[in-house]
Structure 1
């Protein structure tokens, strides 16, 4: 499903949660939606899923707005960090409701995930631990098979082994049946290798949209003498640089091979580090 974001802004009183952002997601991929707290990620996901309206501009999915559009809301599943489910419902009733709502629901997958996470079907949501509530969200998100599936920090309370299992199952399901997956997380190092495209928001603005492989191949940290590094970065876009005792390190758009051929030390920049540098106030 094609997602077109056209000049979207969202204002809450005196705060611009989103500030005139525009971009297009053309095809099913795993997208990493990154940014610091307050960057506007959750607001964007809520507008995309049809839960709230933009103050200005619009999001179109296959040419239609998602708000108050049953055909599209049945094709979008948003799992947020918390408060996804009514606390007084039993787990089995939550799953039954979602199975009725999503025409693409995969009950076999839901049953496998229930067993994997050892979820008590007769427990009420309010009696579950944070980890089990997260597991329930993961089950709904994956089993929905929604063409647009959005995970916003979906793993609160899950230990490292349970998170790893989630990532593995998500990739398996994606490979068997492609869909648009938008993944927002602060544990970027854990999941960055899954991302096919990266979007970074800062203060409600889009500061980067790039294919993940291009990002990995075309950004690097170069180190050497101040003179050599300054010569290498001439005409290149420098993200950040620092000097110490006659030596210099610069985070730059350029290839590792090119830097090494210039006699400099070079290595890739992890996406998490790149996000931090791009969203620092002075560089945003």
Structure 2
């Protein structure tokens, strides 16, 4: 599957949820879609799933537009953090209806997941706890076998053990039958090792799109005397800098061994810390999109 996003903009009155965003995704691959609250992640996912229409720009899935397009929408399953299903539906009705909509829906996987999470097939959605409703969303998302499966904070209310179980099953299903998975989360440290590519949105714009391997290998923090750090990073791509009492820490794309060879302290940057540094609003050093 291929997703092409071209100058995509979504505006609500005078507020931009997305502002002239352009990028391409190609699967099968697991993408991490990251950003702070209000960055535009959910708006993008709703447009991708054909739930809402953009203000301007284009989005294509294998060359077709998703909005009001049944053929395309049958290839995209979006599971949000809540309100995925009508409250009066029973659990077994949710599974049956989604099975009709998605041609590759795996009823055996759905049954296994319902049993794993102790979901009563006869229970109505409105009677489920937040965690149980999340478990139902996870069940449907995984069992859909949709070529593009999107999880937007899908685990609200689940404890750490249940979340790990979800991650393990998702990875196993991905290995068994490849698809494009787009995963949006604030629990970045829990799942970052699953990502093959990372996108970070900031205030409706694309701040970064990089291979996860590149991020793990090439993003580092460098600390030392301000003058020495300034000299070292002068020819590097700088994400952000912080200075305090004659010392500086710079977050950069660079080589750890090179920095250590210059007598500087260098450490790899976890994906969550990178996202925080890249999207920090109140800092003196501005940055350009790193794409």
Q: TM-score range by the shorter chain?
A: over 0.9
In the alignment, is residue 147 of structure 1 matched against residue 147 of structure 2? yes
Which residue number corresponds to residue 197 of structure 1?
197
**Partner Cα separation in structure 1 for residue 14 and residue 247 of structure 2:** 45
**RMSD (CA atoms):** 1.1
Q: Which runs of 5+ in 1 are unaligned?
A: none
What SS does the aligned partner of 2:166 have? helix
Which residue number corresponds to residue 158 of structure 1?
158
- Write out the 4+ residue segments of structure 1 that deviate beyond 4 Å after TM superposition: none
Q: For each residue in 1:61-92, what CA deviation from the matched residue of structure 2 results, as whole angstroms up to 9, or x when unmatched?
A: 11100111111111100001111000011101
Q: Aligned ranges for residues 98-113 of structure 1 at < 5 Å?
A: 98-113=98-113
Q: Aligned ranges for residues 180-195 of structure 1 at < 5 Å?
A: 180-195=180-195
What SS does the aligned partner of 2:155 have? coil
Which residue number corresponds to residue 263 of structure 2?
263
1:20 shift after superposition: 0.7
Q: Which moved more, 1:242-251 or 1:63-72?
A: 242-251
**Partner Cα separation in structure 1 for residue 79 and residue 27 of structure 2:** 21
In the alignment, is residue 242 of structure 1 matched against residue 238 of structure 2? no
Q: Which runs of 5+ in 2 are unaligned?
A: none
Which residue number corresponds to residue 64 of structure 2?
64
Q: For each residue in 1:97-155, what CA deviation from the matched residue of structure 2 results, as whole angstroms up to 9, or x when unmatched?
A: 00111101011111111111111111100000000000000000000000000000000
TM-score between the two structures when normalised by the length of structure 2: 0.95
In the alignment, is residue 35 of structure 1 matched against residue 35 of structure 2? yes
**Partner Cα separation in structure 2 for residue 97 and residue 120 of structure 1:** 17
Q: Which moved more, 1:106-115 or 1:149-158?
A: 106-115
Which residue number corresponds to residue 272 of structure 1?
272
1:159 shift after superposition: 0.3
TM-score between the two structures when normalised by the length of structure 1: 0.97
Which residue number corresponds to residue 213 of structure 2?
213
1:245 shift after superposition: 3.4
**Partner Cα separation in structure 2 for residue 5 and residue 242 of structure 1:** 34
Q: Aligned ranges for residues 7-26 of structure 1 at < 5 Å?
A: 7-26=7-26
**Partner Cα separation in structure 2 for residue 257 and residue 167 of structure 1:** 33
What SS does the aligned partner of 2:21 have? strand
**Partner Cα separation in structure 2 for residue 23 and residue 242 of structure 1:** 30
1:58 shift after superposition: 1.2
Which residue number corresponds to residue 135 of structure 1?
135
**Partner Cα separation in structure 1 for residue 243 and residue 280 of structure 2:** 18
Q: Aligned ranges for residues 44-63 of structure 1 at < 5 Å?
A: 44-63=44-63
1:228 shift after superposition: 2.3
**Partner Cα separation in structure 2 for residue 276 and residue 59 of structure 1:** 28
What SS does the aligned partner of 1:200 have? strand
